[in-house]
Amino acid sequence: MTDPKVIRAYKDEYYPPVPTAATKRMRTNIFIQLYKFLMLNYKIMRIVVKGHS
């Protein structure tokens, strides 16, 4: 005899995490996004300049 498979499709692990209010605020704050954008551009330019020297 074989054991029947138990299917648990509605466990908590199957649902995506919900962002907190602080996370939503950080994602929509224009100043934080501008800062992140500038820092990313700075990192990329550092890599490019280092590659050309």
For the chain, 53 residues long, give each residue's pLDDT as a single digit of tens: 566 776 666 666 677 888 999 999 999 999 999 999 999 999 999 999 998 87
Within-domain flag for 24: yes
In a domain, 39, yes or no: yes
Model confidence, pTM: 0.61
Q: How many separate domains does the chain show?
A: 1
- Decide: 26 and 32 in contact? Cβ < 8 Å: yes
Residue 7 lies in a domain: no
Range(s) of the domain holding residue 46: 19-52
Give domain status of residue 44, yes or no: yes
- Predicted pLDDT at 7: 66
